[in-house]
Amino acid sequence: MDQDGKELMPSPNDSPDNRPDGDWRDFPARYRQQILGFIGWFVVASVLAPISFGLITFPGTLIILLLLAKSKGSKGFAGGVLIAVALNFVAALIRGVSLNAFCFIPFYYY
Amino acid sequence: MSPVPVLFYIGEVPVYSHGFFLLFGLLAGLGWLVIEARRRRWSKEEVIPITLAAFVGGMVGAKVSILFFNGFEYAPLVLNMYAMFDPRIGPGSIIGGVVGGYIGGYIASKAIGKDKCSCDAFAPAMALATAIGRVGCFLSFEDGLGKPTILPWGVPIPGGDYLVHPAPLYDMAFNLIWFGILLALRDHKWMQNGNLLKVGIAGYAFFRFFVEFLRNNRELAFGLTGQQFASVALFAVVVMYFVMNRQKLFASTQPA
């Protein structure tokens, strides 16, 4: 529907054959899902950050990942969420090179 | 020998040995995984999601297992998603990482509908990554160097007048040898379809059980640490798998 309430008919120029090369609509569905899953995780995690202290986000992410990976039509979303979480871990590992990360054990010194 | 927590500086920024070798180990493991995956003609459509899931599963497993190994007082650190990404908090336990990585990779391989397992490519890569990562543990004198010893290769600890076992170096030496053994076994007919990975994990669990007697981790019960209980469980699960599937394993390697 447009602003005037009229049905929007697909333009003849909107068919896949008439789209320019690289048009985002021609991405395979899984890539679109991956991008949405990737961005979606950051958005949801950012929104929940001040209220949940991460204790909702952690099991929530795992449960959503499992559910998305299990359902046939939404594996791409799971891929996007997985990439987002992996990226955070990679960033932590890289930053950890210049920070003295501890391994949860009692130490002899410090 | 004194600890070398800082390897070098880039300008004003210190490069810590623990973080450096952890990252270097993971990158080396990833590099070896790519080499193995190519050798096994493992398609990137499978390698990438399974590796990503194994990585995330490994990182989560390494942290969450700390609850079991070190106690529930660590819950605020290891059950908090944002603390998981805090680079000041260490990666956690290798044993937990191995279990988490396996579970993550398994779930991903099922999710993408993979029938047979090409995950054996992970086995030598894991051993190589662990061996390199342990150098950082030793140089920074982290991860519980070890119990007191009078052996000539014992290392002095800061503030103490006695020697302790260089336990991370034992781990490193074992994993280097294990890496070579897994490479030698990788083309064996019985070591396919996930069997090499299972043997790789069981081998490390077997070694870890014994080396734990020389480390300083918290004892849970019967004089054994949480890592030892986990090692026994891992080893037992793999042995049970091979016992229960021995007919299929043997039959699948018989000439048609």
Domain membership flag for residue B132: yes
For residue B157, what pLDDT is reported?
A: 81
Cβ neighbours around B214 below 10 Å, total: 17
Indicate the range of A3-17, B43-57, B217-231 predicted with least confidence: A3-17
Give, to the nearest 10 degrees, the angle between helix B122-139 and helix B167-185: 160
For residue B199, what pLDDT is reported?
A: 94
Residue A109's pLDDT band, with cuts at 50, 70 and 90, is: very low
Domain membership flag for residue B9: no
ipTM of the complex: 0.88
Which chain B residues contact residue A69 at CB under 8 A? 107-108, 111
To the nearest whole number, what is the mean pLDDT of chain B? 88
Decide if B142 touches A, using CB distance below 8 A.
yes
pTM for this prediction: 0.85
Domain membership flag for residue B10: no
- Fill in the DSSP letter of residue B221: E
For residue A107, what pLDDT is reported?
A: 43
Residue A25's pLDDT band, with cuts at 50, 70 and 90, is: low
For residue A106, what pLDDT is reported?
A: 46
Q: What is the pLDDT of residues A57-75, one digit of tens each?
A: 788 888 888 888 888 778 8
Q: Between chains, do A104 and B83 touch, taking CB under 8 Å as contact?
A: no
DSSP assignments along B183-204, one per residue = HHHTTSTTS-TTHHHHHHHHHH
Q: Between chains, do B70 and A57 touch, taking CB under 8 Å as contact?
A: no
Residue B146's pLDDT band, with cuts at 50, 70 and 90, is: confident
For residue B57, what pLDDT is reported?
A: 94
Distance from CA of A22 to the nearest CA of B (A): 21
Which chain B residues contact residue A38 at CB under 8 A? none
Cα angle value B178/B179/B185 (rounded, 5°): 85
Q: Which residue from A58, A93, A103 is facing B142, i.e. has the nearest CB? A: A103
Among B17, B56, B86, B218, the residue to mutate for chain A (most A Cβ within 10 A): B56
Residue A108's pLDDT band, with cuts at 50, 70 and 90, is: very low
The parent domain of residue B174 ranges over 17-252
Cβ neighbours around B116 below 10 Å, total: 9
Could you give the CA distance from residue A65 to residue B100 in angstroms, rounded to a whole number? 15
Size of interface A-B (CB pairs under 8 A): 139
- Higher-confidence residue: A16 or A8? A16
- Judged against a pLDDT cut of 80, whether residue A101 lies above it is answered with no
Which chain B residues contact residue A106 at CB under 8 A? 216
Q: Can you say how many angstroms the Cα of residue A42 is from the centroid of all Cα atoms in its chain?
A: 6
- Judged against a pLDDT cut of 70, whether residue A102 lies above it is answered with no
Domain membership flag for residue B12: no
Q: Between chains, do B158 and A109 touch, taking CB under 8 Å as contact?
A: yes
Q: Between chains, do A108 and B23 touch, taking CB under 8 Å as contact?
A: no
- Judged against a pLDDT cut of 50, whether residue B255 lies above it is answered with no
Count of domains observed in chain B: 1
Listed in sequence order, the DSSP H helices in A53-74 are: 57-70
DSSP assignments along chain A, one per residue = --TTSPPPPPPGGGSGGGSPTT-GGGS-HHHHHHHHHHHHHHHHHHHHHHHHTTTTHHHHHHHHHHHHHHSGGGHHHHHHHHHHHHHHHHHHHHHHTTTT-B-SS--S--
Q: What is the pLDDT of residues B158-175, one digit of tens each?
A: 777 888 899 999 999 999
Hey, what amino acid is at B237?
V
Q: Which residue from A54, A66, A97 is facing B15, i.e. has the nearest CB? A: A97
- Judged against a pLDDT cut of 80, whether residue A9 lies above it is answered with no
Domain membership flag for residue B157: yes
Give Rg (Cα) of chain A.
21
Among A53, A104, A109, the residue to mutate for chain B (most B Cβ within 10 A): A104
Joined together, the tokens standing for residue A60 give 């929530």
- Judged against a pLDDT cut of 80, whether residue A24 lies above it is answered with no
- Judged against a pLDDT cut of 70, whether residue B253 lies above it is answered with no
The mean pLDDT of B194-209, rounded to a whole number, is: 94
- Judged against a pLDDT cut of 90, whether residue B211 lies above it is answered with yes
Which chain B residues contact residue A55 at CB under 8 A? 79-81
Q: Between chains, do A100 and B18 touch, taking CB under 8 Å as contact?
A: yes
Q: Which residue from A54, A62, A99 is facing B80, i.e. has the nearest CB? A: A54
- Judged against a pLDDT cut of 80, whether residue A46 lies above it is answered with yes
